[in-house]
A and B are shown apart, each in its own frame.
Chain A
Amino acid sequence: MPKPKGLPIANQMRRYRFEHGEMTQAELGEKIGMTRQTIAAIEAGKYSPSLEAAFRIARVFNAKLEDVFQWTD
């Protein structure tokens, strides 16, 4: 689980991508209207997506928002 430096949000995007036919970052980005670089930045914990983008990502994986993104103290 990537624990971002400074950002208190962790995510399971890599695992979910793997579980969804090894979906690439570019494919995920295409589905939600984001660039591959932005997906990579979110996955690496360098960028916190908007609530709307987070919901879109969770929706692609048919998962709940909190299963994909977690608040970490």
Chain B
Amino acid sequence: MSFREKSAWITLISVLLTFGSYYGALATGLVPPMSMASFHFGLSSIVALIVLQVVLHLVAAMLNPADARTPRDEREKLIQARSHTAGYYVMMVGMVLVVLATHIPALHGFMTTVYLGIGVMVVAALSVAIAQIVMFRRGA
């Protein structure tokens, strides 16, 4: 497995762990939505995501330094471009859905829109990572 594929797995796992637990806690009521606790939990999730990404990428780079230092080749650049295109479409569709959701009385409210907006960004990031993994596994 190349360093870039490992990087995609790292992103997938770290985003799932951090924002999965964040939205899981909100959905189950473990952390009350629209509270200071949820705000702090959100910030902690972002910090945890950054720490996880840095640490796991460092570990992956130390396991194969030469691979990590090698610049992206044309196939890896193509995979990166295609995956970000996929993520862009997910983001656009998600944002339109968020705008539509603001018209539903049950989902009306500034913080709900913020939760949904961040959720769309998380899903878009997951889409990019998943698309990369699929393309790396398939060849391109």
What residues of chain A have their CB less than 8 Å away from a CB belonging to chain B?
Answer: 29, 33-38, 41, 44, 46-47, 49-50, 53
B138 proximity list for chain A (CB < 8 A): 46
- Name the residue among B4, B71, B74 with the largest chain A CB count within 10 angstroms: B74
| A35 near B67: Cβ-Cβ < 8 Å | yes
Interchain CA distance A37-B1 in the complex, whole Å = 8
Nearest Cβ on chain A to B139's Cβ, whole angstroms:
3
B4 proximity list for chain A (CB < 8 A): 35
Interchain CA distance A49-B2 in the complex, whole Å = 18
Given contacts A49-B74, A50-B74, contact A35 B139 (CB under 8 A): no
A29 proximity list for chain B (CB < 8 A): 73
A36 proximity list for chain B (CB < 8 A): 2
B67 proximity list for chain A (CB < 8 A): 35
Within 8 A of A (CB), among B72-101: 73-76
Within 8 A of A (CB), among B32-81: 67, 70-71, 73-76
A to B contact number (C-beta, < 8 Å): 38
| A41 near B140: Cβ-Cβ < 8 Å | yes
| A38 near B71: Cβ-Cβ < 8 Å | no
| A46 near B74: Cβ-Cβ < 8 Å | no
Leading 4 A-B pairs by shortest Cβ distance: A46-B139, A47-B140, A41-B139, A34-B73
**Of B5, B70, B75, which is within 8 A of A47 by CB?**
B75
B1-44 interface mask toward A, CB cutoff 8 Å, 1 = contact, 0 = none? 11011000000000000000000000000000000000000000
Given contacts A46-B140, A47-B139, contact A41 B75 (CB under 8 A): yes
Nearest Cβ on chain B to A69's Cβ, whole angstroms:
15
B140 proximity list for chain A (CB < 8 A): 41, 46-47
